[in-house]
Amino acid sequence: MAADPVPALESLGYTDREAAFLYLAAAHSGYFLRRQFDYFSDRNKGSIVMRFLEKARLAGHIESLDYKQGWHVYHIASRTIYRLLGDPESQLRRRKGDAQVRARLMALDCVLENEGDRYLTSEEERLRFFADVRHISLEIFTGDNGGLYPLLASFPISLADRTRPAHSLVRFAFIDEGLVTVEKFLRFLAVADPLLRAVGNFELVYISAADSHFEDAKAAFWKRFVGDPRRSPRLFDEDSRSVAVQPRIPLQPRFTTLLLGYSYPILQRSEVRGSARVRI
């Protein structure tokens, strides 16, 4: 990613605030709603958001997806935008299924409400952070192709203390876009377990627009991490002949729920508004 893509986006004709929002939406979601632009710009004037949407549409940077019942989701599909972010072939350019679109919108809400964190936005940045900053063996969190496991690449990951990345608490998000059971969360825990233990000081945030699975998710999390001694991962050199043991980091797991009180396409209109964070 470019050192600061916002000025580059401004060069396309966007104001500084429009460019900053476009960067956040493209880096973390690929999709956005009109209300999310209003929230970010701290404005609720139709003319401001309409000028932004029309400018982006005419430039070919976004497309509008009609979800009926008054819902329009805006997809950032332009290769130009992602090229300026350093990833012209980003998977976010490609259309997703409804559940994935809703999950991406929820991810953007999470980022907008927690701008203080330092987010690891790209796969390259995540690989570099865990391998080079935290000195964790790549085989713990990558597949045969050398990329992150999909479940680790799908959700936001951030640092609570941007000034001390080597020691900061690391926040991993899991987004429940409207799941019927917690089976997907259990799969996520199974995939993420070695990496979470290697990180040591971490917080797992279960994000949903309904609290129906919070208790089951909490029980599954603590069952896995409480009272289970941490296994010290092994680091291998390039030719795998010598082995170095990573210094022990005390396992400090945290589990948090984040209830997003916003409506999303294809969800009930009667949802409560606002958000509530509870550490369990």
270 or 6, which is more confident? 6
Q: Angle CA(254)–CA(225)–CA(246) in degrees, nearest 5? A: 90
Among 20-34, 146-160, 170-184, which stretch is predicted with the lowest mean pLDDT?
146-160
29-60 pLDDT, tens per residue? 999 999 999 999 887 667 889 999 999 999 99
pTM of the model: 0.84
Query: Average pLDDT for residues 225-247, to the nearest whole number?
Result: 43
Q: Which residue from 200, 208, 159 is spatially nearest to 184, judged by alpha carbons?
A: 208
Query: Average pLDDT for residues 95-114, to the nearest whole number?
Result: 90
For 160, the token pair is 């609570």
Please list the alpha-helical segments (H only) found in 11-86: 16-28, 34-41, 46-58, 79-84
Q: Is the pLDDT of residue 70 over 50?
A: yes
Q: What pLDDT is attached to residue 227?
A: 54
Percent of the chain with pLDDT over 90: 63
Q: What pLDDT is attached to residue 29?
A: 93
Domains and CATH numbers, the chain: 5-95 (1.10.10.10), 118-279 (no CATH)
